[in-house]
Amino acid sequence: MSDASGIAAVLDHADIGPVGSIRERIGHPGSTCRVHDVIAGDRRMVAKVADRADLHERATRELHVLRAIGDRLRGLAPRLIAGETDERSHRCIIVLEAVEGTPGDSLRGEEKDRIDSILDRMAIAWRIRAGDPDLEPLKLPDWGRGTTTCRPHHRRATRFIRRSRRMRERFPQLAAQHDHLAETIGDRFETIASVPDDLPSRLIHGDLHLDNVVFSESGPRVLDWQTASIGDPVDDVVRLTLESGPDHTIDSLLEICERRPETRTTPARLARSVLLAYAGLVSGLAGRPELEPGSREHRFAARMLSPGWMAIPTREALDILR
């Protein structure tokens, strides 16, 4: 079944129609799904289609999250219109309201006041704690807690070491400032990633960056809840802030975290989040196919690894956790 036929069927099952048009977006940045603009009467919607086995859990997670707590995320996440999933074919179709506005752009970056507006809006999610009756049935994963009882972060550590070498091969001109960071983090990854006793357990986005944000007339809206997890809201703050602009330090990040009760933290907890964000960036970039020079992905990687971006707070974080 084609994407268009599947989307039309999902809408028909929800008594929405007739469908006027379904058009796939080409080159949609930051999405792991095929994205379609849908018009039915005067309703404008967006449909996301995923049918790869390795994406099925994440795609269905977004559907289940928006179905279970979408009302509580009103004003933050887009409203769910309809959705269906098929375990046998690994197909998941989610139809959402279209959010009108200016898309964020991780490559362009953003002004600090607009980043603050995103973090203010994210507090809607961060106020929902682990153990909430609406969250319990979802069995969301614990973000950054590891997967086994014995050396829980060993797999992540070995993957980071392998991919950090690949990253330095791809960007040799930037290797000098990252050799020490990558080697030190690799050697101490399991200790760095160990979970402190006071780590909060709240609903977080898990992949908060500007490509997942639309600035609407009513304020920023955050898209793509496939990585929704239980974790520390500081992880969301660090990911968004460090990817959105240069010249951040541990002190400046602490100041940002202090502005909201949900994100107040300690230097050690913040340092952990910074180091895991760095490890995630390196591992994610090096885990992709070869980045074509001049491509959007290549320019983004070069910017994040350049002086004034990730290296400064990462170096400071290592000093804190020595």
Model pLDDT for residues 170-179, shown as the tens digit of each residue? 888 776 778 8
Which range among 10-19, 145-154, 214-223, 293-302 shows the weakest confidence by mean pLDDT?
145-154
What local confidence, expressed as pLDDT, does residue 146 receive? 64
Q: Is the pLDDT of residue 240 over 60?
A: yes
Q: Is the pLDDT of residue 28 over 70?
A: no
**pLDDT: is 302 or 100 the higher one?**
100
Which range among 25-34, 209-218, 231-240 shows the weakest confidence by mean pLDDT?
25-34
Length of the chain: 322
Residue 269 confidence class, pLDDT cut points 50, 70, 90: very high
For the domain spanning 3-98, the CATH number is 3.30.200.20
- Residues of the chain with pLDDT > 70: what percent? 96
Instruction: Give per-residue pLDDT as tens, 297-314.
Output: 888 888 898 888 999 999
Residue ranges covered by each domain of the chain: 3-98, 103-320
Q: Is the pLDDT of residue 149 over 70?
A: no
Nearest CA among 4, 35, 2, 26 for reference residue 17: 4
Q: Do domains 3-98 and 103-320 have the same CATH topology?
A: no
Contacts of 290 (CB under 8 A, 6+ apart): 170
Burial class (CB in 10 A: 0-12, 13-18, 19+), 133: exposed
Residue 152 confidence class, pLDDT cut points 50, 70, 90: low
CATH code matching the domain that covers 103-320, chosen among 3.90.1200, 2.30.30, 3.40.50, 3.20.20:
3.90.1200
What local confidence, expressed as pLDDT, does residue 51 receive? 94
